[in-house]
Amino acid sequence: MARVIRQYTVDAFTDRVFGGNPAAVCVLEEGLPEDLMCNIARENNLSETAFVVPTRDDFLLRWFTPKCEIDLCGHATLATAFVVDRFVAPGREVMNFHTRSGVLGVRKQGDLFAMDFPAFKLREVAVPENVDRVLGIVPKAAYMGRDLLLVFEDEAQIRAIEPDFDAMLALDGVLLHVTAPGKEHDCVSRSFAPKHGVAEDPVCGSGHCHIFPYWAERLGKEHLTGYQASARGGVLHGRLSGDRIVLSGGAVLFARSEIFV
């Protein structure tokens, strides 16, 4: 007899369906074999599929791209918090998710969910020699955390980039983020993850654990807003606190479904 799994598809970092970054959230009674989670994520073919298991007081959470398991994901955590709040454990003031990046606390604040994440330490590095081939344009500066962060002069450059994803695989860092000052937001960015089987991540929460710390220092601000200038678009709010960052955003439900495996 097939196992039936509840799955929700949620658009994160947005207030409208078809915006933000879609994530699938599978609500489980117990953990699944890793190969099965990989196959479900591959079948969904979204940037991330989250697998959440309620425990006595908290939740176990893992994230998978169509290619592999990852250590930290912002939009899928936001989507999971939305699902928990609406369908699993309504009324929780704080939801604690036990993950490969430690315990991540999420608090509902009106229509937003505020996530307590680690902020990546950045070090300035040389601009990669082949970056012109990858992006068709050369940034003014480059920084490395978990990911490679490239800084440009204005948001028009960010929006115009048409990457060579095959060439991008040769760059250092797990993901690649490009960012510039914004006109309506503190910063504008785009994120790319071909090493994880995701060409462009529509709105990347963990990427802003690099992007917001950079702009907080440059702008002298603790509270920032960022816009991810992908085709779908999305808005993120950030507040720096030492080596942590509170990332906030909204989410909307796109679909409920059942998986039979």
Give the chain's residues under pLDDT 70. Answer: none
pLDDT at 2: 80
Tokens standing for residue 77: 């955590």
Determine which one of 30, 43, 48, 93 is catalytic.
48
**Phi-psi region at 146: left, alpha or beta (left = phi > 0; alpha = psi -120 to 50):** alpha
Strand, coil or helix: 14: coil
- 48 is known as an active-site residue: yes
Cα(173)–Cα(176) distance, integer angstroms: 7
Tokens standing for residue 199: 């060409």
Q: 10 Å Cβ neighbour count for 29?
A: 9
Cα(72)–Cα(58) distance, integer angstroms: 18
* 249 CB-contact burial (10 Å; exposed 0-12 / middle 13-18 / buried 19+): buried
Tokens standing for residue 68: 């592999």
- The number of residues making up the chain comes to 261
